Structure 1
């Protein structure tokens, strides 16, 4: 019974917010394309400088002992705040454009990183991208998109309800439900964080 209820709830959510999912995905893809073209049109000096830095980083990284606890905290600091910002923006009536910009930035980061690895390191870069960048982003990106859509949906609800009589009725329970969804999304992101912490460093070392 509960499984059927949740299936219907998810189906209804997807049906009602399909256009928001499409919009979020378009912004993400736009960011990826911008990242690809940024690498393509970088000057030779800039590419060389970044490659030297990356080469130096990998050599030093390969000789260091990995502190997994510290690495996990750093990885969480790089990803969880984005989710918190999206959650907060959803509580405002002007957060939708900023949420979409964050989607573009996330896409840009992935597009730039993957393209730079492949363009700058050749065959080794392809392995770096496939094994150390893409796997965790398979988890991060759906989480960011779902979080973005849920936040935009909540923001639109606030905009539509504003000005109506007793529009604040039940708002606390709505915020609670909204926040619980983000807690679930954050829990899913921890799968990606764990992969990036405990598996990705060893892949980088192996490739290096």
Structure 2
């Protein structure tokens, strides 16, 4: 049962370093994108965040309105796409692009909050963006490394060495790990659905 974890966490340190560095580059790029926005775009963002915080402050957690399954399915779609891309050789660049884009999204969100509200924005990001992503991001990166490893294994065995067969065991290991990460994402989705909004409502009065 623990074999998928052993396969993903052992002898793949270079892949983990590479994928993590790619994600961090995305975070930095997303944060820098905030500085590239025009004054009009920054003003539009400021109005959007202002309305969001006012509505959240007045409506409490009900303003967010996302159900558990909406949150969970969003995470599972991202995970499933990584898994699918890992099944084909041509999907290898797509996995790396997804990891980079995930970093861009987080970096841009945090950068916008900090840019608009300085330390108050950082405080809001720490309760709204950081908690669940401390679990979501490692789960996605572990799956990405497994997907890259599986894809590279196919390239070595099928394309470079011309071998056929013998892929069932790596496939089961790869799929088993992906399913394990899906369970982790389902669990953290409950935190994101019911705990994160409460934490956001605590901090919102300081920002609005």
**1:172 alignment counterpart:** 168
Matches within 5 A, 1:180-199: 180-199=176-195
Matches within 5 A, 1:17-28: 17-28=12-23
Q: Distance in 2 between matches of 1:20 and 1:202?
A: 37
Shift of 1:77: 2.9
Q: Which moved more, 1:29-38 or 1:114-123?
A: 114-123
**1:37 alignment counterpart:** 32
Shift of 1:88: 0.5
Shift of 1:67: 8.8
Q: Distance in 2 between matches of 1:188 and 1:91?
A: 21
Q: How many residues in Structure 1 have an aligned counterpart in Structure 2?
A: 202
**1:89 alignment counterpart:** 85
Shift of 1:160: 1.1
For structure 1, list consecutive stretches of 5 or more residues without a partner in the other structure.
Answer: none
Contact map agreement 2:79 2:140 (CA 8 A) in 1? yes
**1:56 alignment counterpart:** 51
Shift of 1:140: 1.0
Which TM-score applies when normalising by structure 2?
Answer: 0.86
Which TM-score applies when normalising by structure 1?
Answer: 0.86
Q: Distance in 2 between matches of 1:59 and 1:72?
A: 24
SS in 1 for 2:67: helix
**2:96 alignment counterpart:** 100
Shift of 1:70: 4.6
SS in 2 for 1:167: coil
Q: In the alignment, is residue 77 of structure 1 matched against residue 62 of structure 2?
A: no
Q: Distance in 2 between matches of 1:54 and 1:191?
A: 29
Q: In the alignment, is residue 129 of structure 1 matched against residue 120 of structure 2?
A: no
CA shift digits 1:158-186 (9 cap, x unpaired) = 111115566223x3343222211101111
Q: Distance in 2 between matches of 1:183 and 1:73?
A: 17
Shift of 1:192: 2.5
Shift of 1:142: 0.7
Which residue of 66, 69, 89 corresponds with 2:62?
66
Shift of 1:120: 0.6
Q: Distance in 1 between matches of 2:163 and 2:98?
A: 33
